[in-house]
């Protein structure tokens, strides 16, 4: 029998740019790919509490969580399904402190997002008209 894993992610904005972070080989999955901050929920954890915890752990930021942007369901292998919830968040600083899970960060423009994010992430943004809704330069 398979498992379902719930993850929360944050599209964090600061000065009309979005924070993306580049994975290290920390866990051997998605090495060098660019993504939004966030991760898996712990059992019994509230969605927004889990998101806040993951953001603080991965990029050292405390953010204001605004709203849910979109949800996805993806079968990553025959035994594992991921439910992903991506929230719009706002930072009050651009001072990022990366954990060992990531090797680099960028406060990206829309053009950089379109160039650096994976195709599935771009498809999620496009299907949900996210970039059209946000004020990203």
Q: Is the pTM of this model over 0.85?
A: yes
- pLDDT given at position 15: 98
Residue 29's pLDDT band (boundaries 50, 70, 90)? low
CA distance 43 to 24: 26
- For 66, the domain range is 3-133
Radius of gyration, alpha carbons of the chain? 14
What is the arithmetic mean of pLDDT over 7-36?
90
Contact 41, 50 (CB under 8 A): yes
Name the phi and psi angles at 41, rounded to 5. Answer: -80, 145
Which tokens sit at 52? 């806040």
Per-residue pLDDT of 110-129, as tens digits, reads 999 999 999 999 999 999 99
- pLDDT given at position 31: 81
CA distance 58 to 10: 11
- pLDDT given at position 127: 96
What is the arithmetic mean of pLDDT over 13-26?
94
- pLDDT given at position 76: 85
- pLDDT given at position 106: 98
Per-residue pLDDT of 45-99, as tens digits, reads 999 999 999 999 999 999 999 999 999 999 988 999 999 999 999 999 999 999 9
Contact 31, 25 (CB under 8 A): yes
Q: What is the CATH number of the domain that holds 29?
A: 3.90.79.10
The count of structural domains within the chain is 1
């Amino acid at each position: 029998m398979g498992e379902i894993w719930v993850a929360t992610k944050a599209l964090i904005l600061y000065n009309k740019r979005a924070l993306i972070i580049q994975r290290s080989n920390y866990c051997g999955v998605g090495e060098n790919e660019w993504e939004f901050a966030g991760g898996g929920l712990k059992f019994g954890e509230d969605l927004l509490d889990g998101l806040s915890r993951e953001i603080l752990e991965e990029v050292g930021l405390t953010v204001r969580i605004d709203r849910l942007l979109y949800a996805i369901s993806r079968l990553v292998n025959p035994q594992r399904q991921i439910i992903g919830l991506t929230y719009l968040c706002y930072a009050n600083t651009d001072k990022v402190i990366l954990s060992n899970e990531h090797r680099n960060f960028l406060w990206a423009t829309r053009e950089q997002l379109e160039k650096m994010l994976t195709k599935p992430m771009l498809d999620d943004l496009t299907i949900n008209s996210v970039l059209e809704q946000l004020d990203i330069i």
